[in-house]
């Protein structure tokens, strides 16, 4: 079968490898679509989280089950599924506490040197890692379940109520996912901060109250001038020094800052800005149990439109049409059409 295998810094190769076979309690999925994630860009351009290499990249996977391993009873061949790529040991203290999504070190199919990624004709996963899709949820949406689950989990970490004022920094895929999750649970007062005009337009079309350009205005002043004086909850999805500083300053006293961004470099922060306002900073990592089901159910109810922000590229255009324009902010979300032969 064909795979896209990462060999190192800016070195990904389309290669031929033997087809995997489903083992005990496993299923094999014929991949239809695989989304390109920010962590893929980090691994490709910065060589972070990528050792050891080589390995098959891709963890936002949707396809059709085409092989059932011994011991699998609840999934039939031909089932359309989204793959939850998160791996857990099941024995550590965090797993025993019901925090298996924080199993350390974090491990995902197609990340950090683990084989089984979705940029391949076939991938193999444990049966409990695949989630059947209702008829109303397309395979395209299925490939978005993983990143939208990251965003939805972050929204749950924010303890947001419908009447709150919320700010989202960054309108990349995770920021857009946060916006869609907030709208799905009834939050109407959502401001998005994003320098890219294309991404600001997408945020407005998807229900943002206002999209703020941080290059042309004082973000904190604008946020505080709209409605109530400051935000109840801020979601940091941009991953820059400026966005972190502005996010903290945009919060009201005892507001909550939820960190979803992956930072390429360390940042500076002022403890006093948190202490004097009793600001809560909460991390958000992957997705807890039950989040995949919640996202799929919301998708089935029509809460995750794809028009205006999701684009498809051929497999052979992975770098030139996917990684490079995404890195430049010229595209928002890319799905690779793995089910079509590379050109």
User: CA 213, CA 306: separation in Å to the nearest integer?
Assistant: 23
Q: CA-based angle 74:76:79, to the nearest 5?
A: 115
Q: Where are the domains of the chain?
A: 2-144+306-337, 151-283
* Domain 151-283 grouped into CATH 3.40.309.10: no
| Percent of the chain scoring above 90 in pLDDT | 85
User: CA 324, CA 334: separation in Å to the nearest integer?
Assistant: 11
Task: Assign 3-class secondary structure to the chain.
Answer: CEEEEEEECCEEEEEECCCCCCCCCEEEEEEEEEECCHHHHHHHHHCCCCCCCCEECCCEEEEEEEEECCCCCCCCCCCEEEECCEECCCCCHHHHCCCHHHCCCCEECCCCCCCCCCCECEEEEEHHHEEECCCCCCHHHHCCHHHHHHHHHHHHHCCCCCCCEEEEECCCHHHHHHHHHHHHCCCCEEEEECCCHHHHHHHHHCCCCEEECCCCCCHHHHHHHCCCCCEEEEEECCCCHHHHHHHHHCEEEEEEEEECCCCCCCCCCCHHHHHCCCCEEEECCCCCCCHHHHHHHHHHCCCCCCCCCEEEEEHHHHHHHHHHHHHHCCCCEEEEECCCCCC
| Percent of the chain scoring above 70 in pLDDT | 97
321-338 mean pLDDT: 95
**What local confidence, expressed as pLDDT, does residue 113 receive?**
61
**What local confidence, expressed as pLDDT, does residue 52 receive?**
72
Local confidence band at 111 (pLDDT 50, 70, 90 cut-offs):
confident
Does residue 114 carry a pLDDT above 70?
A: no
Local confidence band at 48 (pLDDT 50, 70, 90 cut-offs):
low
Least confident of 40-49, 88-97, 129-138: 40-49
**What local confidence, expressed as pLDDT, does residue 316 receive?**
94
Report the chain's mean pLDDT, rounded to a whole number. 94
Which CATH superfamily is 2-144+306-337 part of? Medium-chain alcohol dehydrogenases, catalytic domain (3.90.180.10)
Answer for the pair 34, 119: CB distance below 8 angstroms, yes or no. yes
Strand 210-212 versus strand 122-126 pairing type: unpaired
**What local confidence, expressed as pLDDT, does residue 34 receive?**
98
Nearest to 261, CA basis, from 143, 175, 185, 198:
175
User: CA 24, CA 21: separation in Å to the nearest integer?
Assistant: 10
**pLDDT tens, 70-90?**
999 999 999 999 999 999 888
Local confidence band at 343 (pLDDT 50, 70, 90 cut-offs):
low
Local confidence band at 342 (pLDDT 50, 70, 90 cut-offs):
low
**pLDDT tens, 140-190?**
999 999 999 999 999 999 999 999 999 999 999 999 999 999 999 999 999
**What local confidence, expressed as pLDDT, does residue 211 receive?**
98
**What local confidence, expressed as pLDDT, does residue 265 receive?**
84
**pLDDT tens, 183-214?**
999 999 999 999 999 999 999 999 999 999 99
Local confidence band at 107 (pLDDT 50, 70, 90 cut-offs):
confident
Does residue 49 carry a pLDDT above 90?
A: no
Does residue 51 carry a pLDDT above 80?
A: no
277-289 mean pLDDT: 96
């Amino acid at each position: 079968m064909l795979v896209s295998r990462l060999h190192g810094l800016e070195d990904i190769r389309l290669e031929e490898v033997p087809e995997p076979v489903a083992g005990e309690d496993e299923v094999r999925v014929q991949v239809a679509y695989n989304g390109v994630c920010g962590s893929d860009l980090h691994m490709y351009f910065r060589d972070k989280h990528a050792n050891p290499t080589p390995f098959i990249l891709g963890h936002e996977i949707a396809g059709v089950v085409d092989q059932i391993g011994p011991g699998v009873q609840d999934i039939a061949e031909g089932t359309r599924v989204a793959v939850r790529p998160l791996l857990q040991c099941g024995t550590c203290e965090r797993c025993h506490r019901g925090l298996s999504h924080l199993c350390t070190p974090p491990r995902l199919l197609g990340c950090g040197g683990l084989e089984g990624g979705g940029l391949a004709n076939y991938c193999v996963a444990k049966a409990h890692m695949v989630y059947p899709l209702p008829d109303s949820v397309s395979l395209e949406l299925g490939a978005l379940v993983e990143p939208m689950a990251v965003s939805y989990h972050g929204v749950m970490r924010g303890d947001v109520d419908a009447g709150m004022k919320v700010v989202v920094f960054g309108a990349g895929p995770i920021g857009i996912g946060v916006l869609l999750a907030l709208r799905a649970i009834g939050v109407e007062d959502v401001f998005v901060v994003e320098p890219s005009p294309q991404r600001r337009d997408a945020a407005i079309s998807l229900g943002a109250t206002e999209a703020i350009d941080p290059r042309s205005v004082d973000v904190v002043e604008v946020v505080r001038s709209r409605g109530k004086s400051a935000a109840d909850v801020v979601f940091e999805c941009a991953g820059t020094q400026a966005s972190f500083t502005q996010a903290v300053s945009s919060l009201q006293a005892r507001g909550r800052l939820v960190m979803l961004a992956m930072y390429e470099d360390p940042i500076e922060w002022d403890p006093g800005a948190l202490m004097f306002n009793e600001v809560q900073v909460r991390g958000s990592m992957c997705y807890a149990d039950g989040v995949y089901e919640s996202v799929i159910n919301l998708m089935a109810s029509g809460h995750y439109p794809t028009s205006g922000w999701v684009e498809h590229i051929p497999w052979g255009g992975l770098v030139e049409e996917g990684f490079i324009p995404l890195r430049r902010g010229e595209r928002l979300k890319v799905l690779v059409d793995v089910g079509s032969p590379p050109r």
